[in-house]
Chain A
């Protein structure tokens, strides 16, 4: 069974149908791009997949588990992690604490042993620290561990947000316009980061992006939507030559 599967996913806001009958199925180790013009409903789809909106109709399964009606943090536990279009970090906390917070569920001690600092507290906190450092090393950010997140350069902030999402140990990683506001150099670095993630982690990636170079460069499959409807699906080459896609992006 596919890792992420949606069937007949529909979202209506009053009389407006923002997303209509969206169907996608993503397997393990796949990287799927979701593109479409502004206002096509891409972020709405993300918000449904991550539990921010409850879909009007349809079903979503992550790893075989029905997630419709679940709250965002429950979906994170099931295995769907995301990043945001406008970076959302814990700005006034250290980089390492940003990661530790995402580790929350893997740290195992209760309020009382946290207050009285039992052996378990020290052992678990040590483990959380070591794991977080290991994680930062994967992203080559260990030197920034004690920097406040807000003081990182833009590209690194984006990297940290992705690292934080991965620290929740997801099955599927959803990236909402990761290249937004990046210069070509930073975009190149981001592509390398995404490649590295796919090599080192055993997960699927769903990517929303406007940057065609990025999307065409790294996605295996692309889904194009317009006005909430899927207008094309296929490999990057198929999408490039699809008349509907050209019409949507360039006009008649």
Chain B
């Protein structure tokens, strides 16, 4: 590994740790109260959901309208697994697992089940070119909602209450960091390049020797996996699951985050997730107009910046610092040197 890369990693890690410490201090001082911490956790959930959907929509270029469906699968699977892992029977036998372990096991299982679902709908529809996936995922999201509404073990329409609360600020912060890191390195590997080439031109990708169906399914199921994990994180924070929260509107909300942040930019999705989670809270007094503001924002965005906030570019701390250091206003005597 080049020292250049090592420096970048250390720089980013330091920035993340600093952010974590600042937030911890603010929390211990009571400046960030429980309400704000709740919003921060929702931001975390939305970051996971949006960055994962970005793999399918932004990097692979396939319209997917059923991300809430994968989220629901992940949420319910995770909730049921966690209940089983913390059940009376296990505890009476003296098996008490730490919260983090329960959370990771149940979340991962939720993700795996979401992957299985994505394979069932992805393999037939992704063999075709065009927007078939959009229509099928749209149907899938609704099917999942209706099924959950009618199954006994998911509590039917009454929902599922008493889901173990495992998600807190500490673990969601680091889980989000790990997931974003995984997605970033994934999109910058040869597999990520293959996925991006399909977005650019599917026919040319195939003529360059890329097995397009395989990579479409890989990209789509990666999105589903982390979508399921996002659902798990959500379930273990909110503790009560109502099937109707996983409807079509939820899928659209996630899609709006992705489009706003920029299709093909993970950092864009993160910024947009922060903005679009805080916005409805800030506009609490006008809750009925939330959708109006959403759609207004999207229209404005499509007119003035159709590629989203970041387009396909990623925010890089290193480049940002470089620009800051050689900024003519802040430090006029330093000359701009490339690669410094």
Q: Does B282 contact A (CB under 8 A)?
A: no
Q: Which of B191, B204, B211 has the most chain A CB atoms closer than 10 A to its own CB?
A: B204
* Residues of chain A in range 69-103 having any CB-CB distance to chain B below 8 Å: 71-73, 76-77, 81-82, 84, 88-93, 97, 100-102
B170: shortest Cβ distance to chain A, in Å?
23
- Which single member of A89, A111, A117, A167 contacts B204 (CB below 8 Å)? A89
List, in ascending order, chain A residues with CB within 8 A of B212's CB. 73
B319: shortest Cβ distance to chain A, in Å?
14
List, in ascending order, chain B residues with CB within 8 A of A77's CB. 209
List, in ascending order, chain B residues with CB within 8 A of A111's CB. 186, 189, 191, 218
- Which single member of A76, A104, A167 contacts B193 (CB below 8 Å)? A104
B209 touches A168 (CB 8 A): yes
- Which single member of B185, B190, B206 contacts A116 (CB below 8 Å)? B185
- Which single member of B185, B206, B218 contacts A117 (CB below 8 Å)? B185
Q: Does A50 contact B (CB under 8 A)?
A: yes
Q: Choose, from B77-85, B112-120, B194-202, B247-255, the stretch at the interface.
A: B194-202
Q: Which of B194, B200, B210 has the most chain A CB atoms closer than 10 A to its own CB?
A: B200
* Residues of chain A in range 159-188 having any CB-CB distance to chain B below 8 Å: 164-165, 167-168
Q: Which residues of A are in contact with B by a Cβ distance under 8 Å? A: 50, 71-73, 76-77, 81-82, 84, 88-93, 97, 100-102, 104-105, 107, 109, 111, 114-117, 119, 121-122, 124-125, 128, 164-165, 167-168
Nearest CB in chain A to that of B205: its residue: A101
Q: Name 29 interchain pairs, CB-CB below 8 A, sorted by A.
A: A71-B206, A71-B211, A72-B207, A73-B207, A76-B206, A76-B208, A84-B204, A84-B207, A88-B203, A88-B204, A89-B201, A89-B204, A91-B200, A92-B200, A101-B194, A101-B205, A104-B193, A104-B194, A104-B209, A105-B209, A111-B189, A114-B185, A114-B186, A114-B189, A115-B182, A115-B185, A115-B189, A116-B185, A128-B190
A90 touches B204 (CB 8 A): yes
List, in ascending order, chain B residues with CB within 8 A of A88's CB. 201, 203-204, 207
Q: Does B171 contact A (CB under 8 A)?
A: no
List, in ascending order, chain B residues with CB within 8 A of A167's CB. 208
Docked Cα-Cα span, A117 to B189, in Å, equals: 9
B189 touches A121 (CB 8 A): yes
A107 touches B190 (CB 8 A): yes
Q: Which residues of B are in contact with A by a Cβ distance under 8 Å? A: 1-2, 182, 185-186, 189-194, 196-197, 200-201, 203-212, 218, 312
Nearest CB in chain B to that of A118: its residue: B1
List, in ascending order, chain B residues with CB within 8 A of A165's CB. 207-208
Docked Cα-Cα span, A179 to B201, in Å, equals: 21
Nearest CB in chain A to that of B307: its residue: A92
Docked Cα-Cα span, A107 to B194, in Å, equals: 12
B216: shortest Cβ distance to chain A, in Å?
12
- Which single member of A90, A97, A122 contacts B1 (CB below 8 Å)? A122
List, in ascending order, chain B residues with CB within 8 A of A92's CB. 200, 312
